[in-house]
Every structure is written in C-alpha cells, then in structure tokens.
Amino acid sequence: DENRLELNDDSSIEYDYLVIATGPKLAFEEVEGLGPDGHTQSVCKTGHAETAHIDFKKLVEDPGPVVVGAAPMASCFGPAYEYLFILDTELKKRKIRDKIKMHFVTPEPYIGHLGLDGVGDTKSMLESEMRDRHVHWTTNARITKVEEGKMHFTEVDEDGNDKKEHELEFKHSMILPAFKGVDAVMDIEGLTNPRGFILIDDHQRNPKYQNIFAVGVCVAIPPVHATPIATGAPKTGYMIESMVTATTHNIVNLLKGDEPDQKGSWNAVCLADFGDTGVAFVALPQIPPRNMNWASRGKWVHVAKIAYEKYFLHKVRAAKTEPIYEKTIMKMIGVVRLKESG
C-alpha cells in the first residue's frame, strides 16, 4: 500500500519516503546442487566464507581438483577471480599447488569481461595471470547441475547454441550465484523487473511509486550488452556510495519542497587482490561508454587492498563516509560521487 510498509509479523510502518537497500537474494536454487546447502562453496556472506574455509582445510589435508567460477546470469564476477588467485597463492605457500588442478568456469564471453565488457585491458591481464598460474578456463559456460564432487556445464558458441557438454571433478569448488530481488519485493507491479530488482530513474526514484528510492545491489541495471549466456552488470562499492549520496540529496530536496536534481556518477574504482599481486581499475562511469577506462597490474595492488580494507573499516566505525582528504584525492583523479548539473 502507498506510504505503508508491511512487515513479516503482520504489523506495518507508515513512511513519507522509503529507501530500499536490501541487497540481493542469492539464487542458488537456479542450478541444481549449487551453494552451501548443495555441493559448492560461496563467499557472498560471512557464514558462507567460514564454511568455505572449513572445506579449504579439507582440500589441504587431501589435495584434489578445484573449480571456481560463476553461475549463469551472475553479475558479480570480481570476487570469483579474487578467490581463484588468492587460493592459488595460498596453495603455493603451503607447497601443495603442484598437487591441485584448477579450472575457472564462467558465463562471461571472455576472461576479464566482468559483466562490464572489460575495463581497460582486463582481458589480456587476467588471461596472462591465469596462464602464469597454470589455471585452465572455460568461458560461455552454463553450469547446469552440480553433484558431489562433479560439475556439469554446457559450453555455448557466440550465438548461444550448445557447443560441448563438460564434466569436471572437484574436491573443492566456489561458484558465485546469480542474484535476484528479495522475496519481499518480488512481483510488485511497477516496483520491480521480472527478477525482482527495483526499477529506478536517474535520481534513484521508482517511476511509479515516487516516494520510494532504491540503492545498491537491489537496483535494476540493464546488462552492458547481450552475451551468449546472460550476464548482469555488477554494482561496485563506489558506485553504490554515489547512489546513496544522490538519494540523500534528493530526499532533502523533496523535504524542502523542491524536485530531485542529483544523479549518482556511478563511477567504479576497484582493487582486486590476488594474494601476492592484483589488478586495479578505474571506470568513469562504470557503464560504458566511459570518460576513463584504465587498468593496471602489480604487487602494489595487494598492499593497497589491505590498506584500503583497514581504512574502510575505520570510516565505518567513525561514521565518516567521505572525509575531506579522500574527497580531495578522488577529485584529483576525476572520481566524484555526483554528476555535475547541466
């Protein structure tokens, strides 16, 4: 109902403005046997990561094949690459990498696509990283079923036609699922798209329910372009921060009696840690065409990622979302949260 939020305990809350920031539903059920309740691991939640660590320790005790990747319609590919390479680094430290074959399975049309049609030269960078680490890969791969210790997937051609059926045995597997909207908002006409993501305009506001805004992974963003197997566009950290900043300003405008006029820049600044090295990329904006499209690889990224994680947690604890020194440095490289008016 308009201006009323129904809760699970049959109560309700009235509101003037509602901001939906639920995050996604993890759609493990779309692939038989996928997920922590099935036969693969996940790092999408803290509990999932803890369970994955337990399974990793079993791998160390009894080495065997590893399969890492993403399910059809996935949109968040970065953590799969990070997990793959961090795992490779850790196995080398334990002197057992030579006992373990590793395979990367992804619906992306090429390595380094990331749901973004690449950023800078991520294709050659990540392919080179995989060759250096002796990782095999299959792109345009649709995982169809997972059994205990065995993964089934179909490789398709560039037109989406089935090309080859594959089976891979594994001792340890981490597969990122596709995302959907949460059950609470699913199938509300005018609020969500068919997968339950919240429809928004340029000001983060739902076109039908004008007092509802949405931010984060729950927002509906069209794919960058059609791919042989459906992939989505990721919602990265700085992009989400820009959504929140725009939403805050726009609600303040409405409270003043004005119309929303702020748009998030949707810029992306990402550090992908590989355990001993990494890849950094800047996409301004995240969705092409872009004003800046840059990526770089090196050991400095690993150090920078560790430093950033400590810094980010400090910001959360101090409740300072954008300190002046951060804002100044980011602006110097052209990264801002809000688009310039006009």
Active site positions, annotated: 76, 270
Q: Are 123 and 89 in contact (CB under 8 A)?
A: no
> Which residue carries 């791919």 as its tokens?
227
Quick one: DSSP state of residue 298?
S
Could you tell me the strand order of the sheet in which 162-169 lies?
141-147, 150-156, 162-169
Q: Are 217 and 23 in contact (CB under 8 A)?
A: yes
CA-CA distances (angstroms) from residue 256 to 112, 251, 252?
45, 9, 6
Six-digit token string for 252? 């303040």
Quick one: DSSP state of residue 110?
S
The CB density around residue 8, as the number of other CB atoms within 10 Å, is 6
Q: CA neighbours within 13 Å on the CB side: how many for 76? A: 23
Looking at residue 2, its amino acid is E
